[in-house]
């Protein structure tokens, strides 16, 4: 093989000869085209060829070379094993067929710890490219009509990427490929990325690896945890322009007002605000500590949809949770999210929340809103004071029963066992924590399932870029939850369902129940309901939608006793079901659609927010 320096100033044209030894007119055998295989004593007919060498002006981008053969040349046919550590691919190499070419390129790539993909661009024309999309290496080959062999016709080298090793190749390769897509479509969901990956590579990437890959890309694109504070306003502006995001910032200005330290950010998507109009008048709030060196706090406000699922409504990330941050969070909800009256607010009985709710002029007091406590949080607070698990169990039973007689019985037990514990509970208005005294405002929801409540924020705990990455993953989850809910709703509509599962399950329970009820009419549209084999009795009042069992008024649809009365009177029980449970309302809740977010390079630069730095240390 003749080695020609690519930039030698004295070399303009080079002539060299290839020795060919055809066994017939149509068969060409391997010949000595390079020094390791050369046969000096050969006397075969010589053929002349003139190579044309073109530099693509970049050492890092590789050399682009093209060879032009003379009109009667026979090519150099080399076996695939010729490609070894001492020789590189180059123009003019010929192979018997596509498979032999691919084996040669594969072996050459493996020896150099690279990976490449091949595709047939046209019939008998092949393109090899490095799988790392930023790398400039490529090779083109085609079957040449004159000799019928597959010949390398264009070659761009060397690789501009680093060698990869099997243990980390898949994750880094995934991150490289995802980065290219995320920069163009930054809010593609994990499911959408998995689908794109399957179409591109032909195999499926595990959800965990796709999530890890996207997190790695977020760190590459938006920087580390400190840098994410500066990027966050641009991301929020992109969400505002594309999806109507409502946002409010809190920060502490530096002497130079162009810079500030982060204190908090509130946001709510217009799709959630629109959907909440069709949810029951109920808001649940809670907080969670985020991972990361700044230990920021995530605040969430959620509604409840017709199927009793949490409906994410508004969020905030704050430096700390305090009376001031709760006042700000509640104010933003009232100003930006909903002005509905008769809302039921369910929260922990934390003193900061109680103080804000009870402030003069608060729109979280009656008649604007009714405050209720989460029974789990109340029990936790009670246990922290009295450290008695038996008493704590009685508190749970007293709070969760829907019957006032049972509530009184449990409270008497607590009073007998520990009068101080009874006084501690009795200081709180009973309607704030006991279902039996609630009057149906909380729709039977007694406890906050924090895992379900924060499900849409599941990306935050795994993301070291707590702000930017967490919000982007949360947008993925929110959009995905809308899509899944709407798909389920369409199935219900196709089946002809009118009400959601909570109501239909209760009707099914009644229709399959083997209990025989005895109905006795009383005065003023009241009915006494009893079981033929039991002494217990209940009083149902249809006009008031109440039953002494407590479930009718707590859940806002008929209990088993009310259904028995309706069956006896041959009237339709669905007239007593709250509209919040209809499939129609359910559909409207998730009807709003999300729009694609602009590519990163198109995000607004001027967001009206100073350049943000991490929160200042606590005093």
User: Which are the contacts of 606, defined by CB distance < 8 A and separation ≥ 6?
Assistant: none
For residue 607, say if its preceding peptide bond is cis, omega within 30 degrees of 0.
no
User: Which strand (E) or helix (H) includes residue 369?
Assistant: strand 369-373
Give the separation between CA 53 and CA 62, rounded to whole angstroms: 13
**pLDDT class for 459, splitting at 50, 70, 90?**
low
Highest mean pLDDT among 124-133, 288-297, 508-517, 556-565: 556-565
CA distances (Å), origin 118, targets 91, 130, 153, 445, 468: 17, 9, 15, 58, 36
Comparing 218 with 278, the larger pLDDT belongs to 278
- CA separation for the pair 148, 528 (Å, rounded): 96
Q: What is the pLDDT averaged over residues 591-609?
A: 87
Q: Which residue has the higher pLDDT, 538 or 182?
A: 538
Report the alpha-carbon distance of residue 311 to residue 300 in Å, rounded: 11
Instruction: Give CA–CA dist 567/573, Å, rounded.
Output: 8
Q: How high does pLDDT run on average in the chain?
A: 82
pLDDT of residue 79: 45
| Residue appearing with tokens 């009400």 | 499
Neighbours of 609 (CB within 10 A): 18
Question: For the chain, which residues make up each domain, given as ranges?
Answer: 16-157, 166-218, 240-466, 501-581
For residue 49, name the pLDDT band (cuts at 50, 70, 90): very low
Token duo for residue 116: 């490449």
List pLDDT tens digits, range 380-396. 999 999 999 999 999 99
Strand locations in 477-576 (E): 517-521, 526-531, 537-541, 546-547
Mean pLDDT, range 334-357, rounded to an integer? 96
Look at residue 348 in the predicted model and tell me its pLDDT.
Answer: 96
Comparing C-alpha atoms, which of 438, 590, 443, 566 is closest to residue 510? 566
Question: Residue 275 CB: number of other CB atoms within 10 A?
Answer: 22
pLDDT of the residue at 31 = 33
The CA-to-CA distance between both ends of the chain, in Å, stands at 74
Q: Confidence band (pLDDT; 50, 70, 90) for 160?
A: confident
The token duo for 189 is: 């969901």
Using 50, 70 and 90 to split pLDDT, how confident is the model at 360? very high
Taking the C-alpha atoms of residue 592 and residue 490, their distance in angstroms, rounded to an integer, is 14
C-beta separation of 173 from 132 below 8 A:
yes
Residues contacting residue 69 through CB under 8 Å, at least 6 positions apart: 49, 75, 92
Predicted confidence at residue 32, as pLDDT, reads 32
**Nearest alpha carbon to residue 285 among 217, 225, 343:** 343
Asked which of 164-168, 174-178, 300-304, 504-508 is least confident by mean pLDDT, the reply is 164-168
Which helix (H) or strand (E) segment holds residue 259: the answer is strand 259-268
% of residues, the chain, pLDDT over 70: 82
Cα–Cα distances (Å) from 116 to 106, 107, 127, 177, in that order, read: 8, 11, 10, 13
Query: How many Å apart are CA 246 and CA 260, to the nearest integer?
Result: 21
What is the pTM (predicted TM-score) of this model?
0.72
Mean pLDDT of 463-490: 83
- The per-residue pLDDT for range 85-106, each reduced to its tens digit, is 446 788 888 988 888 888 888 8
**Tokens encoding 266:** 């509130």
């Amino acid at each position: 093989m003749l080695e020609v320096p690519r930039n030698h100033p004295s070399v303009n044209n080079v002539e060299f000869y290839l020795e060919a030894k055809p066994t017939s007119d149509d068969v060409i055998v391997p010949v000595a085209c390079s020094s390791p295989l050369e046969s000096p004593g050969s006397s075969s007919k010589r053929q002349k060829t003139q190579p044309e060498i073109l530099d693509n002006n970049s050492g890092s981008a590789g050399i682009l070379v093209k060879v032009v053969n003379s009109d009667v040349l026979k090519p150099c046919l080399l076996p695939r094993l010729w490609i070894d550590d001492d020789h590189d691919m180059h123009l003019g190499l010929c192979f018997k067929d596509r498979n032999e070419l691919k084996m040669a390129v594969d072996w050459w790539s493996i020896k150099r710890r690279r990976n490449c993909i091949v595709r047939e661009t046209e019939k008998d024309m092949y393109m090899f490219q490095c799988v790392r999309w930023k790398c400039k290496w490529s090779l083109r080959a085609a079957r040449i009509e004159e000799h019928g062999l597959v010949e390398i016709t264009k070659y761009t080298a060397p690789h501009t990427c680093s060698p990869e090793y099997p243990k980390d190749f898949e994750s880094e390769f995934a991150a490289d490929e995802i980065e290219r897509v995320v920069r163009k479509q930054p809010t593609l969901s994990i499911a959408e990325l998995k689908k794109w990956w399957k179409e591109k590579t032909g195999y499926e990437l595990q959800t965990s690896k796709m999530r890890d890959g996207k997190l790695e890309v977020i760190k590459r694109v938006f920087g580390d945890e400190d840098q994410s504070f500066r990027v966050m306003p641009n991301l929020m502006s992109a969400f505002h322009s594309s999806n109507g995001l409502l946002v409010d910032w809190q920060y502490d200005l530096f002497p130079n007002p162009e810079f500030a330290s982060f204190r908090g950010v509130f946001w709510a998507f217009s799709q959630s605000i629109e959907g909440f109009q069709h949810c029951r008048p109920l808001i649940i709030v809670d907080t969670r500590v985020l991972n990361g060196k700044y230990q920021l706090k995530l605040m969430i406000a959620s509604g409840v949809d017709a199927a009793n699922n949490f409906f994410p409504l508004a969020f905030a990330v704050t430096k700390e949770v305090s009376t001031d941050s709760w006042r700000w969070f509640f104010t933003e909800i009232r100003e930006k999210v909903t002005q509905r009256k008769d809302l039921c607010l369910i929260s922990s009985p934390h003193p900061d929340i109680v103080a804000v709710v009870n402030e003069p002029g608060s729109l979280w007091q009656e008649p604007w809103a009714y405050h209720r406590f989460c029974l789990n949080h109340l029990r936790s607070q009670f246990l922290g004071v009295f450290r008695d698990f038996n008493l704590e169990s009685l508190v749970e039973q007293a709070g969760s029963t829907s019957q006032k007689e049972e509530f009184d019985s449990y409270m008497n037990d607590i009073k007998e066992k520990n009068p101080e514990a009874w006084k501690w509970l009795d200081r709180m208005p009973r309607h704030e924590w006991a279902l039996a005294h609630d009057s149906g405002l909380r729709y039977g929801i007694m406890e906050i399932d924090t895992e379900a409540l924060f499900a849409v924020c599941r990306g935050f705990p795994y993301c070291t870029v707590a702000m930017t990455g967490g919000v982007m993953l949360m947008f993925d989850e929110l959009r995905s939850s809308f899509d899944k809910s709407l798909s389920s709703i369409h199935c219900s509509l196709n089946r002809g369902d009118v009400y959601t599962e909570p109501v239909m399950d209760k009707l099914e329970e009644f229709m399959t129940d083997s209990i025989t009820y005895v109905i006795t009419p009383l005065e003023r549209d009241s009915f006494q309901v009893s079981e033929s084999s039991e002494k217990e009795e209940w009083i149902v009042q249809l006009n008031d939608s109440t039953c002494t069992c407590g479930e009718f008024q707590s859940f806002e649809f008929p209990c088993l006793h009310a259904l028995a009365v309706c069956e006896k009177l041959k009237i339709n029980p669905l007239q007593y079901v709250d509209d919040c449970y209809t499939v129609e309302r359910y559909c409207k809740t998730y009807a709003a659609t999300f729009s694609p977010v602009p590519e990163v390079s198109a995000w607004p630069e001027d967001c009206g927010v100073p350049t943000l730095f991490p929160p200042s240390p606590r005093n």
